[in-house]
Structure 1
Amino acid sequence: MELPVGITTLHLSRKSVYLLVLAVALIGAGGYSHVQQKQAVGDAVAVQATVDNARVERLDAGRDIDYEPEIEYTYEYRGETYTSEQVFPGPTIRTYSDRSNAQSIVRSYEPGTTVRAYVRPSAPGDAFLIRERTPWPARAVATGGVLLCIVVLAGLGSKHPGQYELRPEHEVRSPPSRTWVERNNERIRRLSKRALLVCFVAFWLSMVGLFFGVLSLSNSSARPVEADLLGPVGLPLLAGAAFWVGMILSLCLYGLQSFSRYRRLRRRLSEPKPPSPFRHPSRLVTILGTESDELPEYGRRVRVTGWAFLIATGMTAVLVQILYTAS
């Protein structure tokens, strides 16, 4: 599929079209929700409300389990009586993966108590309790923006990047000196793959230990679980974080040795050599989205190297997000 954009044309595959639709949907939904929340927070006036019911609703979505604070309350505005269950402003519902986070909100709204609610004069029936925006709109727009960049880069890139045959190795003059990574390439490859496997298995074992640690504390006490660093919850958490970092470092080490092999293969390309995919994101994105069996040795090496660094970057972003949320 070809999509004209200004003075250029995007060449989109079927996968790219699906990603484009998803990106536009996320950006549109996130933008709409952001506008709704902004208007609700900015125009709302405070009223007195009576809590009728408050509980935590469990939401099962396949393998994922989320928890939603459900609070039903009654309030009056300009002589009319209304009932609402909305906790946060805007059309989206805020859920939590941790039940204790949802319970901490519900505890503040005991049935029969009088609390403060917020009402928009233009929509008096849609009151809410907590005057703050949810993070979902920003996350949706950010995710949609990333997907849109990927689609655009893939559409602008060469149709068949990485499809280059290599000259025989004996026809290529070797550099006068090799780097430490090149001299120990095979050793680094074995070490990084073994370290990645060990850290991967150990990480999930620590998650199993964390599960049983939380379960034992939950059964022995009705109080909220406290993560003591040296307790049955804290130790598996620390171990899991350490092994997660170990996987990131292993991927980076593997990426370095793979990039070294890519440079050796690049010397075997015929002149004039094509642009390096690692300096042209559109070419790299296209190669990353191509099946491995459709690429020759040079393209496969670019693909493996790119995915190693991309996964390491994604895992680092997840770790930073968790640390930021925890702080």
Structure 2
Amino acid sequence: MSDGLSIDGPKTLKGALLLLAVGLAVTGYGAYDYTQQSDAVDDAVAVDAAITDVGVESTSTGSSPGADYRPTVRFTYEYEGTEYASTNVYPSAITSNYDTESAAREVVAAYAVNESTTAYVDPADPDGAFLKAQTSNAPLFAAALGLLLALGGGVSAVGRIRG
């Protein structure tokens, strides 16, 4: 069963509208995540944290020929008398991947197992502490991709309605 999509674009109005809807959803989520992480950085409270694991994960996707690399750091911390654990390097829910293992290793180079560091806790979300009190561009890339999908779907839908 075909959903009306092909490599050169949607072939049906249903496919074009689906592409438009997916694009708008991705754009909305990217914008939401960027706003959320900006608020988390603005409201962050510094806490002491203990690094429990550091590494780089290899991720491969079906759409790209090579692997991407994701820096991973696991740490524990205490906030208002409760102990937590987190793996967030940045406050964004959308994680950044790197083209090379060395680029991912640079992100985690400042951290070593059994060492102390500073983590940042958003009081509104104490479970989601992060290590770098700066925003990531990953949500902006997701929003831009969503805009491209929505634009393609919108243009195609208009073409299907007129044609």
The bucket for the TM-score relative to the shorter chain is 0.7 to 0.9
Larger gyration radius, structure 1 or structure 2? 1
TM-score, reference length from structure 2: 0.81
Name stretches of at least 5 consecutive residues in structure 2 with no aligned partner: 1-11
What is the aligned residue count?
Answer: 149
The answer to whether the aligner puts 1:159 opposite 2:155 as a matched pair is no
Q: Which residue number corresponds to residue 94 of structure 1?
A: 96
Tell me which residue corresponds to 1:15. 15
CA deviations over 1:77-109 (Å, ceiling 9, x no partner): 122221111111022222111110111122210
Partner of 1:37: 37
Alpha-carbon shift at residue 136 of structure 1 (Å): 2.0
Q: Which residue is equivalent to 1:76?
A: 78
The amino acid of 2:45's aligned partner reads V
Query: Any conservation in 1 of the 2:23–2:149 contact (CA below 8 Å)?
Result: yes
Alignment match, 2:108: 106
**TM-score (normalised: structure 1):** 0.42
In the aligned structure 2, how far is the partner of 1:73 from the partner of 1:35? 24
Match of 1:135 in 2: 137
Q: Give 1:25 shift.
A: 2.0
In the alignment, residue 129 of structure 1 is paired with which amino acid? L
- The alignment status of 1:115 with 2:97, answered yes or no, reads no
Cα distance in 2 between the residues matched to 1:88 and 1:27: 20
Is the Cα–Cα contact under 8 Å of residues 50 and 77 in structure 2 kept in the other structure?
yes
Deviation at 1:137, TM superposition (A): 1.6
In the TM superposition, residue 153 of structure 1 has moved relative to its aligned partner by 3.3
The 1:64–1:22 alpha-carbon spacing in structure 2 relative to 1, beyond 3 Å, is: farther
After TM superposition, the structure 1 stretch with the greater mean CA deviation from structure 2, 148-157 or 103-112, is 148-157
Change (3 A) 1:154 1:83: closer
Identity of aligned residues (%): 34
- Secondary structure at the aligned position of 1:111 is classed as coil
One-letter code of the match for 1:53?
D
Q: CA deviation at 1:21?
A: 2.2
SS of the residue aligned with 1:101? helix
- Distance in 2 (CA, whole Å) between partners of 1:119 and 1:112 is 20
Q: Which runs of 4+ in 1 moved over 6 A?
A: none
Give the C-alpha shift of residue 26 in structure 1. Answer: 1.1
The 1:46/1:24 distance shift into structure 2, 3 A limit, reads same
Once the two structures are superposed, residues 103-156 of structure 1 have per-residue CA deviations (whole angstroms, 9 ceiling, x without a partner) of 112221011211111001121121000112221221222222233233333444
Q: Distance in 2 between matches of 1:43 and 1:30?
A: 20
- CA deviations over 1:263-305 (Å, ceiling 9, x no partner): xxxxxxxxxxxxxxxxxxxxxxxxxxxxxxxxxxxxxxxxxxx
* Alpha-carbon distance in 1 for matches of 2:97, 2:58: 9
Question: Where in structure 2 are the equivalents of 1:178-257 lying within 5 Å?
Answer: none
Report what 2:27 is aligned to.
Answer: 27
The one of the two structures with greater contact order (alpha-carbon pairs below 8 A, sep at least 6) is 2
The answer to which structure has the higher helix fraction is 1
Match of residue 85 from structure 1: 87
Q: Which amino acid aligns with 1:83?
A: A
Per-residue CA distance 1:228-285 (angstroms, 9 max, x = gap): xxxxxxxxxxxxxxxxxxxxxxxxxxxxxxxxxxxxxxxxxxxxxxxxxxxxxxxxxx
Q: Secondary structure at the match of 1:105?
A: helix
Q: Which amino acid in structure 2 is aligned with residue 138 of structure 1?
A: L
Give, as a single letter, the amino acid of the residue that structure 2 aligns with 1:159: R
Contact 2:118 2:131 in 1 (8 A): yes
* Displacement after TM superposition at 1:18 (Å): 2.7
